[in-house]
Amino acid sequence: MSAALSWQELHFTAKKEQVAALESWLFESGALSVTLEDDADQPLLEPGPGETPLWEAVSVTALFEGDRALQSVIDAVPRHLVVTIAEQPTPVADREWTRVWEDQFHPMQMGQRLWVCPSWTAPPDPAAVNILLDPGLAFGTGTHPTTAMCLRAIDAGVSHAIRVVDYGCGSGILGIAAARLGSGPVLAIDNDPQALVASRANAEANGVGEDQFVVAMPDDSAVTQWSGTAQLVAANILAGPLVTLAPTLLSLLAPGGQLLLAGLLEEQANQVIDAYAPELPLQIAAQEDGWVLLSGERAA
Ligand SMILES: C[S@@+](CC[C@H](N)C(=O)[O-])C[C@H]1O[C@@H](n2cnc3c(N)ncnc32)[C@H](O)[C@@H]1O
C-alpha cells in the first residue's frame, strides 16, 4: 500500500552567507521546516584562485504541506538569496519525510574505538567512543573520505594525553575525536568564525569542555603559544592551502610529533610532499575515492 503524498519539498543551493535570510524568507512563506545540509561533504575538486570554495555551498530543503500551491513561492524566491533553485516541488510520502536524515546519515565506525553517530540514533556500540554529530553548516560529519581517513588515523594514533592541533577544524570533528579518545589539550583553528562556533558547540555536546578544547582564528595568540608543542597536527584542507601553510603547520609540531594532511587528491600528493620535504618526510598513509592522506613524523 503506498503512503499518501502529504508533504512537498522545495530544493535550493545557497552560499553560507545567504542561508539565514533564505531560511527566514521560507518560514515567512509557510515552510514547516527548513533543513540545511553541508554540500561540502561531497568529493569536489579544488576551486581555482579567487573562486568561492565549493564547500561554501549549502543544500537547503524546505518542507511544505502537500496541498499548498507552491508555484507562487518558487516564483517569488528572491534570486539573490539562492545559487540554484529546483523549479518543481518534490512530493514526499507522509511516512518518509522524517526519515530523510536517517537515510543519509547513519552511525559510522572509524577505526577500532571510534564511532560518529547522528544524535537521533542510539549508538550501535554503547561501549565505544561515540561522537554525536549532526549535519550542519561547518564541514565535517565523517561522510567525506578525507575526514574519514583522518579519523581512522586519529583512532590509531591517539593513545595517551598528547597535545593535538586540528587545523581547519570545520565542525571540530577531528579535535573532538582526539579529545574523546584520550588526548590532552586540543587547539582547533579555522579562518571561518562560523566553524569555530560550530566546533565549540559540538565539543560541548560531546562533553569536551573549554579547558581541553580551545578554538582560535589562525592569527590568535593561542596559535603562537602552541608553537613547537603539538604532538599531533591534523589538517584537512586543500592541496593549495596545505602547501602555503607548510611553515605554520611545521612550526606547531613538537619534535617526534606526527603530521596528518588530507584534502588533497592523489595527483596532488607529490606537490604537497615536496613542500614539507626539507623538514619532514611525508608518505601516503591511506587512499580513498581518489583522495589521499599523508602522514609523517618529525625527527625526535
Ligand atoms: C575540509 S574542511 C575540514 C573540516 C574538518 N577538519 C574535517 O576533517 O572534516 C576545511 C576547513 O578548513 C578551513 N580553512 C580553509 N583554509 C584555511 C586556512 N588558511 N586557515 C585556517 N582554516 C582554513 C575551512 O574554513 C574549513 O572549515
Q: How confident is the model at residue 283 (pLDDT cuts 50, 70, 90)?
A: very high
Mean pLDDT, residues 53-65 taken together: 76
Residue 109 in 3-state DSSP?
A: strand
Report in angstroms the alpha-carbon separations of 187 from 18, 74, 167, 169, 299.
29, 44, 8, 9, 22
Beta bridge partners, 58, equal: 14, 38
Residue nearest to atom 20 of ligand 1 (CA): 191
Residue pLDDT, tens place only, 267-277: 899 999 999 99
Residue pLDDT, tens place only, 17-47: 888 789 889 988 888 777 877 765 544 444 4
Q: How far is the CA of 135 from the centre of ligand 1 (A)?
A: 16
Per-residue confidence (pLDDT) for residue 99, from 0 to 100: 55
Of all atoms in ligand 1, which is nearest to the CA of residue 175? 6
Residue nearest to atom 23 of ligand 1 (CA): 168
pLDDT of 204 over the 70 cut: yes
Mean pLDDT, residues 201-211 taken together: 96
Q: How far is the CA of 223 from the centre of ligand 1 (A)?
A: 15
pLDDT of 104 over the 70 cut: no
Per-residue confidence (pLDDT) for residue 39, from 0 to 100: 64
Count Cα neighbours of 164 within 13 Å in the Cβ-side half-sphere.
34
The overall pTM is greater than 0.75: no
Of all atoms in ligand 1, which is nearest to the CA of residue 151? 8
Mean pLDDT, residues 98-113 taken together: 76
Q: For a substitution probing ligand 1, which of 146, 151, 174, 191 has the most ligand atoms within 8 Å of its CB?
A: 191
Contact residues of ligand 1, CB 6 A cut-off:
55, 138-140, 147, 150, 166, 168-170, 173-174, 189-192, 195, 218, 236-237, 241, 263
Return the beta strands (E) in the chain as ranges: 7-15, 33-38, 57-65, 84-85, 90-92, 108-110, 114-117, 129-132, 164-167, 186-189, 213-216, 230-236, 253-265, 283-288, 291-297
* 100/18: higher pLDDT: 18
Average pLDDT, the chain: 87
Mean pLDDT, residues 69-73 taken together: 93
pLDDT of 160 over the 80 cut: yes
Q: What is the DSSP string of 141-209?
A: SS-SHHHHHHHHHHHHH--S---EEEES-TTTHHHHHHHHTT-S-EEEE-S-HHHHHHHHHHHHHTT--
Per-residue confidence (pLDDT) for residue 31, from 0 to 100: 85
pLDDT of 89 over the 50 cut: yes
pLDDT of 285 over the 50 cut: yes
What phi, psi does 113 have (nearest 5°)? Answer: -110, -20
Gyration radius of the chain's alpha carbons: 21
Q: How confident is the model at residue 137 (pLDDT cuts 50, 70, 90)?
A: low
Count of H-run helices and E-run strands, the chain: 10, 15
- Domains detected in the chain: 7-102 (3.30.70.120), 139-297 (3.40.50.150)
Residues of the chain above pLDDT 70, percent: 87
Per-residue confidence (pLDDT) for residue 52, from 0 to 100: 39
Per-residue confidence (pLDDT) for residue 1, from 0 to 100: 35
Lowest mean pLDDT among 86-95, 177-186, 224-233, 258-267: 86-95
